[in-house]
Amino acid sequence: MTLFEKPKAVEDLNVVRREPKNSGEETILTARPEAIAFTPQQTALIVVDMQNAYASQGGYLDLAGFDVSATAPVIANIKVAIAAARAAGIKVIFFQNGWDNQYVEAGGAGSPNFHKSNALKTMRKRPELMGKLLAKGDWDYDLVDELRPQPGDIVLPKPRYSGFFNTQLDSLLRSYGIHHLVFTGIATNVCVESTLRDGFFLEYFGVVLEDATHQAGPEFAQKAAIYNIETFFGWVSSVRDFCDAVGYDAKQNAA
């Protein structure tokens, strides 16, 4: 096959497929810049860092000066996406970002993380917060009450922005035969995008549900992250389209 020939795995240029269409197992997700086909059994829903640190008043982002006032609708949308994924047999994987309460895992002055982490910088400015921000076992590190893992879900700690760095994610995905990743969480422009990018480099097909994410910083950070994903690294969809693709009626199940 030459560079300009139609790939065998693609039967419709308006639908991206990893492999040729099989016997009715696939579902089509409406997305940008084109629809993407996936099989639920080969797909995981990734819930990135939905911790009090990132989504709650009084959490790390809030204390560091970032606006978290608009996270409630995002939490609600992620809750719907999780329910839809579970109903469809899609593996749900939660991430929690943070370190031990002595911050050994965060790295010392020889690590760029020491100098760039806004959590570490905030604690250096406010020593009374030491051991409270992104520290395992503390409220800040905990997942928000609305999004609780259930039996069969996977919960992974991660020490840096990317969910692939120094975690079991890649080996777990391969062991389950998963090729497609659907992303939700906070922050779109930091940990969500970092994880999706690393997945792209490892040959995973990444889709972000735009209305189930929120940025750290001004609104243009969200728009820039979504642009990067849509243009260079993956696909962009919505919770409603995800529910439609897997046949989940959010209104009926909310009743």
Q: Is 116 a catalytic residue?
A: no
* Res 11: pLDDT: 52
Integer Cα distance of 90 and 217 in angstroms? 31
Report field, pTM of the whole predicted structure over 0.85? yes
Catalytic residue list contains 8: no
What phi and psi values does residue 224 have, to the nearest 5 degrees?
-65, -40
pLDDT at 12: 62
Among 62, 91, 140, 191, the active-site one is 191
Domain 39-99+142-248: which CATH class? alpha beta
Please list the rounded mean pLDDT of every run of 10 residues in the chain (255 residues): 52 80 81 97 98 98 97 98 98 98 96 97 97 97 98 98 98 98 99 99 99 98 98 98 95 74
Helix (H, G, I), strand (E, B) or coil at 228: helix
**Catalytic annotation, pick one of 62, 142, 158, 211:** 158
Query: Would you say 78 and 225 are in contact if contact means Cβ atoms under 8 Å apart?
Result: no
Please give the structure tokens belonging to residue 216.
Answer: 């750290």
* Closest residue by Cα to residue 184 from 195, 174, 175: 195
Q: Measured between alpha carbons, how far is 232 from 96 in angstroms, rounded to an integer?
A: 26
Q: Would you kindly state where each structural domain of the chain is located, as residue ranges?
A: 39-99+142-248
Q: Is the peptide bond between 187 and the residue preceding it cis, with omega within 30 degrees of 0?
A: yes
State the pLDDT at residue 254.
72
> Catalytic site residue 158?
yes
220 contacts: CB under 8 Å, gap ≥ 6: none
Comparing CA positions, the residue from 227, 250, 255, 252 lying closest to residue 78 is 250
